[in-house]
Each structure stands twice: as C-alpha cells, then as structure tokens.
Amino acid sequence: MRRAADSIIPGLVIFAIGLALAGFLLGNSATSSAPASKPQIAAGAGTLLEYPSTWRPASAAPSIPGLAIADSLTLAPGGRAGEAGLLSGRLPAGTPGLLPAAFVSIMHGLPHTEVVDLANAQAYRYRQLHLAGYDRALELYVIPSAVEGPTALACYANAQSSLFLRQCEQIVAQITVPGQSLYALSPNGAYAAQLARQLGLLDRQRLTLREQMHARNSPGEVASLAGALAKRFASTAASIGTLEPPQSASAAQATLASSLLAAHGAYQELAAALTAASSTQAQAAQAKVAGAEAEVDAALQTYALLGYSSM
C-alpha cells in the first residue's frame, strides 16, 4: 500500500505543476492579447512631444489673440482641436520678455509666472491668463533658446473640456528639446536685490518730482524739476548698466536701460521747451515724456514676466 501511495504522490505533484504552468501561460496569453497602448511621438519645432493614444494630431487650433506661433503643431484629445488641445511652435526671436507685445497688450493684469522643470529643460509657465476677446482656459509655457526664437506650448480648453488641461500639462512635462542651447531660468536673488534697490530709489524720486511738477504753475520751476528728473533717469540707467544680469534677464536689462535713457532725453526736452517758453515744443515734449514713461513701465513688466515679481 505504501508503494501505491508513493507512486500516486509524484503524479499529483506533476499534475499540480502542470496546472500552475498552464495558468501562467494562460495569464500571459490574456495579457499579451490586450497590450497597453503605447504613447505616440510627434516632432514639433525643435521639440519631441510624447502624447497618449487618446490624443491625435489636428489640422489647426483655434487662434489665440496676439500669439503668432510659427511652425505650429496641434495635438488634441480625439483630434477635436475645437474643444481642447496643445498648440506648440516658435515665437519671434528678439523679444525681451519672450511674449509678443501684441499678446501682452491684451492681457487683463499680469498672469501668475513660475519657472518649472520639464524633462530636459526649464520653462516659464504662465497661468491665470485672461485675454480680451478670449473665453477659453489657457496656460502657456515658454522655453527660451540662446540661438533661436523661444518655443511656446499653449494648453487650452473650453469650459466643458477643462479636464483636458491636466493631460496637456502631462504632455508638456515630458517634452524633449534636442540640440538647443538652453540656460537656467530661475530668478537670481542677488541680482534681483541689486535691481530692486536701484529701481526703488528711482520710483520714490520719480513720484515725488512728478507730484511737484503738477503742483507748480511757474514754467521755470517745472523746467527745473523736469531737469532734475532727467538726471535721475540717467543716473539709474548708468547704475543698472554696471549690473551683471543672468542670461535669462540680459535682454530685459538692456531694454530697461534703453527706456530709462529715453525718459532722460524726453524730460530734458521738456525742460528746454519750458525754459524757452514754447508751448508747441512743450506739448510735443510732454507727449514724448508720456511715451517714455510707458516704455519704462513696459520694461518693468517684462521683468515680472520673467519671474521677478517684486520689480
């Protein structure tokens, strides 16, 4: 009897192993019959975008006011670009604040700006963007380049498709930017402190002298104050010219210095016109002063769009 039992047990073990092996093979067969969908790859303007199979390339995205994107590529959930999507491409080179002036001019207030780390690059991310004449949710990423125009990636969605913004963010996070000369974007604290010191001094003097100019009736007194303000702009431009900006802010600093010198010239012209008692020249000079002051404000706004929010 023991021999019979001994002969049965190995048979049961072999049978059990056979069942386990069959189950393993069946499980693998079931898995292989329904493989996980692989992400897709799309090549944009100097970029590689990895996107889920539920998204598709689309012919064109709805236009974003003021944002002229060249060599554009559009990806959209199900290819339906009218509902939501990702628009990528290049912005014009040489813009100090990266964003086109036509786009900045229709923004309702400044967006929330932050520097984010992507797969192999850093980007400025602009959230809480509100544009005149545009009713979609919009998030914009900009990756500067040392040699070409910046890369822009715009995630957009209508009110009913806002959940797709999260998927768009995930696509952007995995972007690859091969062969481009990139640089660090995070604001430099020491540079920001030096710049804020110079601009804070100018702002206080600018406010005081302009209030005094409005309070005076004598052309001679106003001319003297305009001359003093001209000197303040010139001295600030000279001081800022001695700073060493990080590469991400070098164009912005050059624009700021240029706008300060333009304001210096405009106030000098105003002082000269008032001294000469020429109402025609004074009106022309006042128009130049207004334009120069607006340029200074725009240059400071550029710093805010580079993450220097305290400027």
pLDDT band of 9, cuts 50, 70, 90: very low
Residue with tokens 């900006």: 245
Over the range 66-80, which residues count as b (16 or more CB within 10 Å of their CB) and which as e? bbebeebbbbbbeee
DSSP letter, residue 147: S
β-pair partners for 70: 90
For the chain, domain boundaries = 40-173, 189-305
Q: How far apart are CA 168 and CA 81, in angstroms?
A: 12
Q: What is the pLDDT, as a whole number, of residue 284?
A: 95
- pLDDT tens-digit readout, 86-120: 999 999 887 767 899 899 999 999 999 999 999 88
DSSP-assigned states of every residue in 71-122: EEEEEEETT-TTTEEEEEEEPPTT-TTSS-HHHHTTBSSPPEEEEEE-SSSE
Task: Give this prediction's pTM.
Answer: 0.80
- pLDDT tens-digit readout, 74-92: 999 999 999 999 999 999 8
**Element of type H or E holding 42:** strand 40-43
The three-state secondary structure class of 210 is helix
Q: Which residues contact 41 (CB under 8 A, 6 or more apart)?
A: 48, 49, 50, 51
CA distances from 116 to 10, 120, 123, 172, 244 (A): 63, 11, 5, 11, 24
Q: How far apart are CA 54 and CA 38, in angstroms?
A: 10
Q: What is the pLDDT, as a whole number, of residue 295?
A: 95
Q: What is the pLDDT, as a whole number, of residue 39?
A: 79
pLDDT band of 16, cuts 50, 70, 90: very low
- pLDDT tens-digit readout, 25-46: 333 333 333 444 677 899 887 8
- pLDDT tens-digit readout, 276-302: 988 899 999 999 999 999 999 999 999
Q: What is the pLDDT, as a whole number, of residue 181?
A: 67
DSSP-assigned states of every residue in 229-262: HHHHHHHHHHHHHTS---GGGHHHHHHHHHHHHH
Q: Are 142 and 88 in contact (CB under 8 A)?
A: no
**Of residues 248 and 18, more confidently modeled:** 248
Q: Which residues contact 164 (CB under 8 A, 6 or more apart)?
A: 77, 83, 84, 85, 157
Q: What is the pLDDT, as a whole number, of residue 179?
A: 65
Q: What is the pLDDT, as a whole number, of residue 168?
A: 97
Q: What is the pLDDT, as a whole number, of residue 148?
A: 81
Q: What is the pLDDT, as a whole number, of residue 46?
A: 80
Per CATH, is 40-173 categorized as 3.90.1150.140? Answer: no
